[in-house]
């Protein structure tokens, strides 16, 4: 009987993790601030299931794939989907005309929808 309960537990646990899928960036607003720094408002969609599987950060990358900034998401957003978080004070090096914004989740990593944003 214990073996059946353990099998059922693992089946439910792993199927719940799989349901959440990858984190998608659904929209981005970029604003030039003082002294050439930028503010990004990023909306992420992910079927957070709790602390075991949630969108845990988003990043801004240069055209070459260098990480320019990271916004850490400190908790799951199970009841707030999609959700928007901001990051100010982002320095965009001279010569970069656009950036890529991608999201990350605690199980699948990267792989969801990204957004390309003009910073020209």
pLDDT in tens, 48-80: 788 888 888 999 999 889 999 999 998 878 777
Report d(CA 91, CA 116) in Å as an integer.
17
In this prediction the pTM is 0.80
User: Who contacts 65 (Cβ-Cβ below 8 Å, separation ≥6)?
Assistant: 100
For the chain, the domain total comes to 1
- Cα distances from 48 to residues 4, 85, 92, 108, 116, in angstroms, run 27, 16, 31, 12, 24
CATH number of the structural domain spanning residue 85: 2.60.40.150
pLDDT in tens, 14-31: 444 444 578 899 999 999
Domain range for 110 is 2-118
């Amino acid at each position: 009987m214990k073996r059946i309960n353990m099998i059922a537990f693992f089946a439910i646990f792993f199927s719940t993790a799989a349901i959440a899928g990858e984190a998608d960036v659904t929209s981005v607003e970029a604003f030039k601030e003082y002294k050439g720094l930028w503010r990004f408002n990023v909306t992420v969609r992910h079927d957070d299931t709790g602390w075991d599987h949630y969108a845990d950060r988003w990043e801004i990358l240069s055209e070459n794939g260098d990480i320019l900034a990271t916004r850490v998401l400190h908790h799951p957003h199970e009841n707030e989907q999609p959700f928007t978080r901001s990051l100010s004070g982002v320095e965009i090096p001279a010569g970069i005309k656009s950036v890529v914004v991608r999201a990350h989740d605690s199980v699948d990593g990267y792989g969801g929808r990204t957004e390309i944003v003009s910073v020209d």
